[in-house]
Amino acid sequence: MPRLNIIILEQLSPAVYRYALWAAVPASRQPFYAIDQAAFVSQWKDALAGDTTNFRNGSVTEKIDTIQVPAGTTVPQIKAFLQARWADWQAEVTARNDWPFYGTTWDGSTWVAGGVA
């Protein structure tokens, strides 16, 4: 599990904020995220060594994005919107599987099923 879920990184303009989302990766898919993040460093300069370890071993992944809010949006509204974005992204990371046939092989006569749950 990530230590944090949402980190607001900076205010780019009066109505635009840049933020990071951290999501837990299902255990069976962690090796694929680790491959992509072997040299990963968080965009949040205050990430701890344990956070970096989790990114690099694939148990946690980070997404950086921006939010543009209408004039007059309150801080609680911004926080609620970011929480909804995090929930949607965590659900996507949990559900998305790009490797359902990974390792499936054919030797010329027989198929051997592979795949990652």
* pLDDT tens digits, one per residue of 52-94: 999 999 999 999 999 999 989 999 999 999 999 999 999 999 9
Cα separations (Å) of 10 from 14, 47, 117?
11, 15, 37
Domain span at residue 107? Answer: 6-112
Is residue 75 in some structural domain?
yes
pTM over 0.85: yes
Residue 9 has pLDDT above 90, yes or no: yes
Cβ atoms 116, 50 nearer than 8 A? no
Is residue 57 in some structural domain?
yes
Percent of the chain exceeding pLDDT 70 equals 100
When divided into structural domains, the chain yields a total of 1
Tokens matching residue 58: 């694939």
If pLDDT is split at 50, 70 and 90, which confidence band does 37 have?
confident
Is residue 105 in some structural domain?
yes
Is residue 22 in some structural domain?
yes
Is residue 117 in some structural domain?
no
Tell me the per-residue pLDDT of 41-60, one tens digit each, with 9 for 90 and over: 999 999 999 999 999 999 99
Percent of the chain exceeding pLDDT 90 equals 95
Q: How far apart are CA 107 and CA 7, in angstroms?
A: 48
Is residue 1 in some structural domain?
no
Is residue 17 in some structural domain?
yes
Residue 13 has pLDDT above 90, yes or no: yes
